[in-house]
Amino acid sequence: MSPPKYGNRRVCTEEGWFDSQRELRRWGELKLLQVAGQITNLRRQVPFELIPKMAGQRATYFVADFVYEEKGKTVVEDSKGYRNRLYMLKRKLMMFRHGVEVLET
């Protein structure tokens, strides 16, 4: 397990590991919205390929904290306390490659 980033502490629950309390709290909110029928198909840690595998190189992915359906549209969400340069680049690649705007919570 890697050390915490940006002062976050990983949290272990019955549902798995969360990178921060913020992410865990948002997961709880989204589960309630799903139970209430406001969202559907809620998933965690969903990978999106940004750059395919090339000779001698691994593929590059953006892993969304949450993905769900709301009013017929797919929502890709990431719990962010700090937006580093790599995240900003991957967010732009998500728009370029998949036409998806990442919602930050």
Encoded tokens for 40:
């559907």
If one compares 7 and 47, the residue with the highest pLDDT of the two is 47
Specify the higher pLDDT residue, 100 or 7: 100
Rounded to whole angstroms, how far apart are CA atoms 104 and 80?
Answer: 6
Measured distance CA(83)–CA(92) in Å, rounded: 13
Residue 83 has pLDDT above 80, yes or no: yes
Structure tokens that stand for 76 in this block = 């890709």
Does residue 14 register a pLDDT over 90?
no
**How many Cβ atoms sit within 10 Å of the Cβ of residue 90?**
20
Which residues, 6 or more positions from 36, have their beta carbon under 8 angstroms from its beta carbon?
Answer: none
Sketch the domain layout of the chain as residue ranges: 11-104
